[in-house]
Amino acid sequence: MSDDDLLAEALHFETTELVQLHRHRSDYSSIGDCFRTSIACLIGAKQADLVPHFCEQNIRAGIPDDYKGGWQDIASARRWLRGEGLDLLFISRAQADEIGIAYKLTVKSHAGDWNHCVIARRGEVIWDPAGVGGYSMADDIGEPVGIITTPYEPEPDEMLRRWHAADAEANA
């Protein structure tokens, strides 16, 4: 994806401190909803369940999870946000810190062998949707961070197609 494709404006919302409704369990009897709760926090929602539980919906629908950072979940979140006149863009942490905007940061969970989403701003974790706390930037797994923006191109399905094509080319 070239930078020319990304004509999005970062949107600043007063973030909310919402606690996720579902904790992840290693037997998948419960699928954690820190991803959707992080998005709800970033858009200033009053309740986490105002945002769909993208990860659970995709698992329950039998949509295979892409092996690269939950691509299907990202596309689902973008589709829903675009219906709200918003979008989710992943940029470097340094870029987000420079803008000064709150962002979704992926960290290694303290509760198990999976990733967890927290809210950070300017290089500091400001909220843990698990409601537990204790996360710091040292827990960052080094993925791009998610910010709320205006809708941009490519649209989510085209984004998925490009990611798959780039991955196939890299692994050819």
Residue 136: strand, helix, or coil: coil
Report the distance separating Cα 102 and Cα 163, nearest Å. 25
Q: List the beta bridge partners of residue 140.
A: 107
DSSP per residue, 64-82: PPPTTT-HHHHHHHHHHHH
The answer to whether the CB of 121 falls within 8 A of the CB of 56 is no
24: its two tokens:
């992840």
Element (H, E) at 145: strand 145-149
User: How confident is the prediction along the chain (172 residues), in pLDDT tens digits per residue?
Assistant: 334 455 789 999 999 999 998 777 666 666 789 999 999 999 999 999 999 998 878 777 777 666 555 888 999 999 999 999 999 999 999 999 999 999 999 999 988 888 899 999 999 999 999 988 899 999 999 999 999 999 999 999 999 899 889 888 998 8
Distances from the Cα of 108 to the Cα of 7, 21, 28, 105, angstroms:
31, 19, 18, 10
pTM of the model: 0.88
* 54 CB-side CA count, 13 A: 21
